[in-house]
Amino acid sequence: MKAAVLKSFGSPLAIEEAADPVLGTGEVIVDVIATRVLSYMNEVFSGARNYAFDLPIIPGPGGIGRVRAIGPDATKLSVGDWVFCDPTVRSRDDAAAPDIALQGLTAPGAGAMRLQQHFRHGSFAEQMRVPTENVKRLGTIESEDATRWCALGTLLVPYGGFLAASLQPGETVLVSGATGNFGSAAVSVALAMGAACVVAPGRNDKILADLVRRFGDRVKPVKLSGNEDDDRESMKRAAPGPIDCVLDIMPPSVSTNVVRAAIMTVRPNGRVVLMGGVGMAGGAGLELPYPWIMRNCISIHGVWMYPPDAASRLIALVRAGLLRLEEYEATAFDLDHANEAVAHAAANGGPFKLTVIRP
């Protein structure tokens, strides 16, 4: 099969023939039709992000494809099924605390590296081998629609955060980082899950206005000033009532003051979900006041990725018409132009934008 292979950090992807994946028990072989290119993939390939994986590797976290072959433990899948390949690979011998690797992307920790030794290669290839439980049926779609279905990979991340927060219909949500790629996805997911209102703070007037244009007056934009106390009060005033849940999905480059201002808007007995990058690049910690957390009974939940059933549940939201993949503007490249796709993703990583490779 043809694949894009990363052989060393800082080098371009090599487009070459690779061995076809071999099916084992508990596995599915999928023909890759479309796969998302992360906006920061160039930083992963250069080594700047210090992601953990062995080289050489066929990168690519998940994708959309059709089942080529199934193992004896698959009772619902059929050859030819359209599927989403979930890149979140979990060890199977400890359900309470599994090791987790992101297939084709990173394997943080010794246990995850052991997983990666087998499920290392990702979706920048004509075929990939995926754990059976990571293959989620989409139902019937047209081949050209596979490009936009790649948005599932972005939408799933904030969806996992809201599932952890037990977001309920009618609640008021604040998305810290609403003008980013994952943050704008969080706005759409919260509304699809029935949030009555989403407070969307940010500094980019154009993106804030676009969120309102797309989703209407259930989105309450707030222009941030950079003053922590003033911004906190502005966010509270924008909400029609108490803020039930705050999701932080800010990137590592953002000041802790901005993140703290948003988190501390939550009502007493409210929930906070941390999914962003604060501290990953060094610097000060978040420093939330212990008395505020304790006296207000604040629940703080750190979340990485999402539970195993999240993809199927999110697909159901799309199928019900509650979550619109049509919001996404997609640009597709063939596998021979994978390096150009990586460069394009880095330059076009804004809200509701997709860069996709179609092997």
Domain boundary among 264, 287, 302: 302
pLDDT at 283 over 80: no
Number of residues assigned to the chain: 359
The answer to whether residue 317 sits within a structural domain is: no
**Total structural domains in the chain?**
2
CATH number, position 297: 3.40.50.720
Q: Are 295 and 338 contained in the same domain?
A: no
Q: Are 124 and 160 contained in the same domain?
A: no
Q: Give pLDDT tens digits for 233-272.
A: 999 999 999 999 999 999 888 889 999 999 999 999 999 9
Q: Give pLDDT tens digits for 5-19.
A: 999 999 999 999 999
Residue-level pLDDT at 277 = 87
Q: Are 168 and 127 contained in the same domain?
A: no
Q: Are 142 and 165 contained in the same domain?
A: no
Burial class from Cβ neighbours inside 10 Å (0-12, 13-18, 19+) for residue 237 reads exposed
Q: Are 238 and 348 contained in the same domain?
A: no
Q: Are 139 and 165 contained in the same domain?
A: no
Residue-level pLDDT at 282 = 75
Q: Are 230 and 160 contained in the same domain?
A: yes
Residues in CB range of 145: below 8 A, 6 or more apart: none
Mean of per-residue pLDDT scores for the chain = 95
The answer to whether residue 345 sits within a structural domain is: yes
Residue-level pLDDT at 285 = 84
Task: Label the pairing between strands 82-85 and 135-137.
Answer: antiparallel
Q: What separation, in Å, do the N-terminal and C-terminal C-alpha atoms of the chain show? A: 10
Task: Label the pairing between strands 243-248 and 329-334.
Answer: unpaired
pLDDT-above-70 percentage for the chain: 100
Residue 72 belongs to what domain range? 2-151+328-358
Q: Give the integer Cα–Cα distance in Å for 182 and 155.
A: 7
Mean local confidence (pLDDT), 223-227: 94
Banded pLDDT at 221 (limits 50, 70, 90): very high
Q: Are 170 and 141 contained in the same domain?
A: no
Q: Are 105 and 120 contained in the same domain?
A: yes
Q: Are 38 and 141 contained in the same domain?
A: yes
